[in-house]
Structure formats: C-alpha cells, structure tokens
Amino acid sequence: MPSQIRTVVIPAAGLGTRFLPLTKAVPKELAPVVDRPAIHYVVKEAMDAGIGHIAIVTSPGKQALEEYFKPSQEIDALLRRRGMNAVADELQQFAQRLTFSYPIQDRQLGLGHAVLCAREAAGREPFAVILPDDLLVGDEPVLAQMLRAWQRRPGNYVAVEEVPRERISAYGVVDLAAGSEADGRTYRLKGMVEKPPADKAPSNLGIVGRYLLMPEVFDALAETRPGAIGEIQLTDGIARSMDRCPLYAYRYAAVRYDCGTPLGLLHASLSLALRRPDTAAEVRGWAQETLRM
C-alpha cells in the first residue's frame, strides 16, 4: 500500500444557491476571504500537507475555477510590479508543485456522488477529500495533522469537532466504539450517521470537511443509495466500507469557519484580516468605529 496520499478531491460542483445572485456569474468557491478565493486556502492546505494532485469536481458552467488555477506569466509579472509578492509566490508554488484535474459532476445527486465522480482521477490509491466550505485555520494544516495519524494507523478518517446539540442534525455524526480512544485525538468508530435528529445523534462529534479515505470507499459509494435529504451521502459510503477498512475520527486542532453562507464568509474574512499583520490594525479600527455607530 502506498505510504503517501497523492490526490485530494475537492467537490465544487454545487449551484451555490445561498450565494445568489453572485453565483449567476461566479462560482461561490471564488468568493473572496480577505483577498484570496475561499478555494485558494484549501488548495494551499493540501499543498502544505504534501499532496500534489488536486482533483476539483466541477459542473458545466464553472470553468472559472479552472481559469483561476491556470498559471499565467502576465499575472505573475503584474502582481510583482504591484508589490503583491506573497500572492505571486503562492500562485507560483501552485504552478510548480501541483497538477490539477477537473472531473465533471453533471447531476447534483449528493456529496457521495460528487466524490465518486473523481474515481478515475484518484486511481486505486488512498486519497483525501476537502470540502471547500469548511475553512480550517490553525498552526498546522489539518490535513497534515490527519496524515500523521493515518501513517500510524491506516484506515478511513473523518475530521470531527464538538457541535452544540441544537446544530448537530446538520452534520454527519460519529458513533464511537467502546474504549475507542486510540490516542489523544484519534478515535475508533463503530458507525456514522448523516444528519440525525438531535435525540438520535450517537455523539456530539460532528464531521467536518476533511477526510482520508481508502479506494474501497469508491466501491462502496457505487453501491450507496440516496439517504438523508434524498442524496447519495459520503457518510453512508464510508460507513458501508467499515467491514473492509477500520474507521477513525480525528479531533483536529484548528478554528473552523463555515464559508458555505455569505455571513460565514464575512466572519472568515473578518477573523483572518484581524490575524494578519498587514491588515489587523486597519480592520480593528473599522470594527471599533462600526460598533460605535
């Protein structure tokens, strides 16, 4: 078995209804967080974790995503002339260290189906999945944290965090095996359920958009029927392959921002701008002024 994960699948075929009217013309994954598109941050997270192949699952009409990651010498020169070297350097690293592919999902049948559309792109190897709505900010990229655990104990991994009871029914929720703590942050699971009613949730640990998966998950997804909200769920496909691969939850160390709604995106922008030395003072000043009004 390869000791490395080489491909990350990023599902990005959704219509972005919550972002209308913007998404009439622009994929929601290109909506900015401070000064870079949301998807830029998760691609960088994958690159920083040592992953070299980015498979972005798109749908017809979202060619702008492909355009964004296409290397351009003119833009590089322009950025550098304007003193925007940090952005230019990141784009240059993308061009040098990453290859991109764009599997198409032409019917919106659910997240599990979107991942299945990347089956050929990923090959018969372990792979990662990042949901670009979940922006995770911490000292170490969450995918890198999970890869360390995966190298110690291979299997299927889902990232989790504690979720308040009133919000748990919006998540996939994990069911811990008895005596499940494998080490400080890794837990062995005996099941998972997508969007359970709060009183049926098996724990308070909700799945967040980072996964490390074995290729058997593709076989399981191909057999998975629509589940919660009538969609083919990734959670169900992973749970199905439990008899073939051990299943773990990884409780990561990072702060999560939900970029799946316009307000969540605003929260992410504000928090990131307050953390960045080049923007913090100005944004703090505006925030104080706005709160006084």
Neighbours of 32 (CB within 10 A): 12
Distances (CA, A) of 250 to 56, 160, 174, 231: 24, 6, 11, 25
Q: Rounded to the nearest whole angstrom, what is the least distance from the CB of residue 224 to ligand G1P in the complex?
A: 12
* Residue 134: CB minimum distance to ligand G1P, A: 5
Binding characters for ligand G1P, 75-114, by CB under 6 A (x = yes): ------------------------------------x---
DSSP per-residue codes, 237-287: HHHHGGGTS-EEEEE--SEEEETTSHHHHHHHHHHHHHH-TTTHHHHHHHH
Query: Total residues at the site for ligand G1P (CB under 6 A)?
Result: 14
CA 58 to chain centre: 14
Give bridge partners of residue 33 from the DSSP assignment: 36
Q: Give residue number: closest CB to ligand G1P.
A: 172
Q: Which window, 47-55, 62-70, 90-98, 200-208, contacts ligand G1P (CB under 6 A)?
A: 200-208
Interface stretch with ligand G1P, choices 32-40, 181-189, 229-237, 262-270 (CB under 6 A): 229-237
Site for ligand G1P contains 12 (CB under 6 A): no
**194 sits near ligand G1P (criterion: CB under 6 A):** yes
Determine, following the binding rule CB under 6 A, whether residue 132 of this chain makes contact with ligand G1P. Answer: no
Give Cα separations from 196 to 167, 193, 269 (angstroms).
10, 6, 31
Which one of residues 54, 131, 149, 174 is an interface residue with ligand G1P (CB under 6 A)?
131
- Is 62 in contact with 16 (CB distance < 8 Å)? no
Crossing angle for the helix pair 262-275 and 280-292, to the nearest 10 degrees: 120
* Site for ligand G1P contains 235 (CB under 6 A): yes
Residue 206 as a binder of ligand G1P (CB under 6 A): the answer is yes
**45 binding ligand G1P? (CB under 6 A):** no
Which of the ranges 35-43, 90-98, 146-154, 202-210 carries the binding residues for ligand G1P, by CB under 6 A?
Answer: 202-210
In whole angstroms, what is the distance from residue 163 CA to residue 159 CA? 13
Which residue in 115, 122, 193, 207 binds ligand G1P (CB under 6 A)?
Answer: 207
Indicate which single residue of 29, 45, 134, 216 sits in contact with ligand G1P (rule: CB under 6 A).
134
How far is Cα 282 from Cα 270, in angstroms, rounded to an integer? Answer: 11
Residue type at 204 in one-letter notation: N
Q: List residues near ligand G1P by CB under 6 A.
A: 111, 131, 133-134, 171-172, 194, 206-209, 233-235
